[in-house]
Chain A
Amino acid sequence: MQRQPIRPLLLALAVAMAPLVLQLPWWTVAWCSVSWGYLILRDRCGWPVASRGVRLTIFIVGMTAVLMFAGLRFDGGDFITLLAVMAGIKPLEVRSRRDSMVTVFLAYFLTITSLFVFENLSMTIYLFVSVWTTTGVLIHVNDPTGPLGRQLKLSARLILVAVPLTGLLFLLFPRLSGSFWGSPWAGQSRSGFSSNLRIGDVSRLVLVDEPAFSVTFDSPVPDAHRRYWRGIVFERFDGTGWYPASRQAARRGSIGGTDLSRYTVILEPHGQRNLFVLDLPVTANAVATIMDDHTLTARRPIWQRFRYGAASFLNAMPHSADEPDDANLQLPSDRNPQTVALARRWARTHAGSDGLVAAALAFFKENGFSYTLQPDRLGIHAVDDFLFVSRKGFCEHFATAFTVLMRAAGVPTRIVGGYQGGRWNALGDFLTVRHSDAHVWCEVWQTGRGWVRVDPTFAVAPDRIDAGIERALAGETLLWFLGRSRDDLLSGLTETVSQTWEAVNTRWDMWFMGFSAEDQIALLRRIGIFAGRRSGWLLFMALPPLFIAGMILLGRLRKKANPKPLEDNVLRIYERFLDKMASAGIPKPLHQGPLDYGRLLMERHPALERDVDAIIGCYIDLRYGHECDADALKAFRLRVRRFKPRQAMAAGGLRTED
């Protein structure tokens, strides 16, 4: 049995697995390293393949480890672990070409799993590297004696030829619109708003220096202080945390307003169903529903980067006439007595909700509250502690306190969680909203106007809204929390680089990762070949045969573009003549030269004499003569083409009989 190329196989597996290394449990990495290290040694020293029993034991040990690690829940992450363990085991038993081929296919499979885990530009580039190496190794498996370098070159050439078809297939493969199943591959926890809000959650979230979503605008970009990204509305309060309304319905009717803004959001996966839209959304993608609290909800949790378009009125008038229910007045009965008392006092002295809101905001402004990421610990009466003792807090503290005050005073109020602001990336023409832009604010019910946004944080730290969180927290530097230093030349440079990279990445995400059924239809319409979904399949199926036909055509054209030297043509025409003679029953014996053969023909069939003499003469002139010009060649070709030995022989035969 032929010796199998172990080391190239290991190379393919390693390249395919490299992106997953950080995702894998450490023991799988160790498992593979040990196994592969042993294999390299074995290959170098020529040790024999381990016996069947040993291999079986290793297999059982590996599988047991995976099962014990995965437990009863077996999700995508465990699937990757399983593949990695198999990648460690499989090369151990490679002895035949079949094993090698299976190992290469395993490498292809590892490549696609890493694509499910990471979706970004770097991975797209890496995909080609991985396919290139693996295909090179596949060629090597089929031709183990050839040099790997040349095979890698061939692999690159094959990929280059395949790329145009790949692009067309990608664009034309009929997509299902709006299918986004929960990806089981997302092993790591995602940061973002969860379905409940405990005091302190937001100040932890802003420390995550990752983008939450990016937005491109079709209309003018709104100013920073108008960019409230609404995500989730909290109504129920238990003293320490906020929860959304237990029952939610889709919004009925439409809203009015001015300053319409149209935009497209690319949301990083956060594992929740809520999407983020500018206050207040008018219309949105078909895959999401606008709820009656004006939030946008997807049908399934977002486990993958998700793109949706929406339109919002920045200055909305939500004609909601329905009085909100008591849920928006609910407070835990035995908490925060001081706050409740203060609110009741205000309720007696101020008339109407406007006055109460003004009183609360004035209270925040005048009593030395400070906006900080490091609030003091709060006790069981959290709002009392905050309002009357520590007076240091983050947006969630202000929003909570404000809501409790309003509700205690009898004004229906709720909390809205989302993001505020975002940084404009001028290179890429889009807005990046990061987790550090996380924010919560309040909405107060005003009879006749409906829900009105009130941001108590603005009363304390107006910079937060106008200039972003970094400016607002300049004193204690959020940047320090994020592990960066601020006034640094180097950081300026890295800032530019990271902005550029972010721009390229996001642009790529926008038109590649986000390419959806709707985009496809739009594209086909623009080219003018869209004719219903059924024909999409037809078009798709027609591509591979078209590709093959195109390749053949290209081959022909290329052959025509550099024609063979005339001598070759002479030979070819002469061969055609010989073929004709052979089919007429007088093949040329191998040992005969043209002259002898011509003599033979003329002896046997005098009827052919004229033609044969001319053809042989032309041939000898062209092939062995000094000159070989195109005209003579043309005449030669014509003569051979018109030469019909069988007919001539038949006619000649008849004539002799006469």
Chain B
Amino acid sequence: MTPAIARTFYRLAGGNTTVPVALGLRNIYILPTGYGLLYLTVLGAMLIGSVNYNNNLGFLLTFLLGSLGLTAMMHTYSMLYGLRLLSATAMPAFAGQPVEVDLRLADVDRPRTGLCWYFKTTHRTRADFRPGQPARILVGAGAGRRGLFDPGWLRIACDYPLGLFQAWARIDTGLQCLVYPGPIFAPIPGATTLSAQRKGDIGQTAGVEDFVGLSAYQPGDPPQRIHWQAYSRGRGLHTKTFAGQAGVGLMLDIDDIKGGDTERKLSILCFHILQAHNQRRSYGLRLAGQTFPAANGRVHRDRCLRALARYGND
């Protein structure tokens, strides 16, 4: 029932809700919060008391607090009023990790305090904006499953300053975020090394002797390879790389992975893509129906990951 009412209401209210958007009379809504209702109850009690004892000071306080509530309502409303959202972009994320949406605002003309940004999640990103500061904000949209992720409506809410009223706006970012499969480490026994020098289990550290250096940690790197000493010194996560891994091309084929469902296979492929990318090896990807010839570089990696994300969804 309530969602139906809400839908009808939003439709009747009209107003632009797609990015880019300027918040104004038709797309900001405001209602008293629970505290607002409690405040109203307290005021009601005060008014009854004042009428009962015909106490003019009581009247004065009651009306002062009432007017204060109204003023606070206007203030809450003005926190959102005139806010202009220019664009929303989503960073691709791995499954199980929060998708983050990057929102860009037009110049903030006056201080706006206590704005809460959130999608369907319970976590709210609270931000204050002051004029002259870069107006952009990263909002978590919750973790999605592999594939296309719809973050849903973006909500901007504010109950500053008194917490008695909540003003909010509901915005459709129109975003379809890509969620890559979460990397899972597992060997691909049949992975064909293109140069045919080496078949192997990349994860097995025993056969790898020549340490070449450290590379930045990539999700899915096996924990044994993480350079914990560096991490303990506060230098961030790094992964040890070894000679013999780089420069060898390989062909990753989904059909080489035996056992497990498609999602798991995709996750394993994802790990190997990241691994190979980090080690600057060239690699190719073969999914049912499409093949990416061996290459390397970011563009190639992203193309492969996108294919993984879209696999089975097209």
CA of A135 to CA of B64, assembled, Å: 11
How far, in whole Å, are A135 and B56 apart by their CA atoms in the complex?
21
Query: Hey, what's the 0/1 contact readout for B153-171 against A, CB within 8 Å counting as 1?
Result: 0000001111100000000
B67 at the interface (CB under 8 A from A): yes
Contact yes or no, A135 B162, CB < 8 A:
yes
Determine whether the beta carbon of A112 is less than 8 Å from that of B39.
no
Q: Which residues of A contact B53 (CB under 8 A)?
A: 116, 180-181, 183, 185, 304
Q: Across the A-B interface, how many residue pairs have beta carbons closer than 8 Å?
A: 134
With both beta carbons as reference points, the residue of chain B lying nearest to A165 in the complex is identified as B67
Among residues of B, the one whose C-beta sits closest to the C-beta of A306 is B54
CB contacts under 8 Å to A, within B39-84, are 39, 42, 45-46, 49-68, 70-75, 78
Given known A142-B163, A143-B114, contact A166–B72 (CB-CB < 8 A) = no
Min CB distance B16 to A, Å, is 10
* CB–CB B63/A109 < 8 A: no
Q: A142-B161, A548-B70 are in contact. Are A116 and B54 (CB under 8 A)?
A: no
Q: Is the CB of B61 within 8 A of A127?
A: yes
Question: Which residues of chain B come closer than 8 Å to A108, judged between CB atoms?
Answer: 42, 46, 65
What residues of chain A lie closer than 8 Å to B49, measured between beta carbons? 112, 116
Q: How far is the CA of A131 from the CA of B42 in the complex (A)?
A: 14
Task: Decide: A139 near B162, CB < 8 A? Known: A163-B67, A165-B70, A169-B67.
Answer: yes
CB neighbours of A161 from chain B (8 A):
71
Among B55, B56, B70, B75, the residue within 8 A (CB) of A544 is B70
> Across the interface, do A170 and B54 meet the contact criterion of CB distance under 8 Å?
no
**A162 and B61 contact, CB distance less than 8 A:** no
A115 touches B55 (CB 8 A): yes
Kindly list chain B residues whose C-beta atoms are within 8 Å of the C-beta of A165.
63, 67, 70-71
B52 and A111 form a contact (CB under 8 A):
no
Which of the residues A138, A159, A169, A175 comes within 8 Å of B54, measured between beta carbons? A175
The contact of A180 among B54, B59, B66, by CB within 8 Å, is B54
> What is the size, in residues, of chain B's interface with A at 8 Å between Cβ atoms?
41
Q: Are B58 and A115 in contact (CB under 8 A)?
A: yes
What is the interface residue range for chain A against chain B?
Answer: 35 or more
A176 and B42 contact, CB distance less than 8 A: no
Closest CB of chain A to B52's CB: distance in Å?
6
The yes or no answer to B38 lying at the interface (CB within 8 A) is yes
Interface centre among A138, A141, A512 (most CB of B within 10 A): A138
Tell me if B61 and A131 are in contact (CB < 8 A).
yes
Contacts of B78 in A (CB 8 A): 555
- In the bound assembly, the distance between CA atoms of A2 and B263 in angstroms comes to 39
B65 — which chain A residues lie within 8 A by C-beta?
108, 131
- B87 close to chain A: CB less than 8 A: yes
The docked-state distance in angstroms from the alpha carbon of A108 to that of B45 is: 12
Q: Report which B residues bind A (CB closer than 8 A).
A: 35, 38-39, 42, 45-46, 49-68, 70-75, 78, 87, 113-114, 159-163
9 contacts between A and B (CB under 8 A): A112-B58, A112-B62, A127-B61, A143-B160, A161-B71, A304-B53, A304-B54, A547-B67, A551-B74
* 14 new A-B contacts at CB < 8 Å, known A131-B65, A170-B60, A304-B54: A116-B53, A127-B57, A135-B162, A146-B113, A154-B161, A158-B72, A158-B75, A162-B70, A162-B71, A170-B59, A173-B59, A179-B54, A181-B54, A548-B70
Q: When A and B form their complex, which 7 residue pairs have the shortest distance between CB atoms, in order from nearest? A: A162-B67, A169-B63, A165-B67, A115-B57, A142-B163, A166-B64, A139-B161
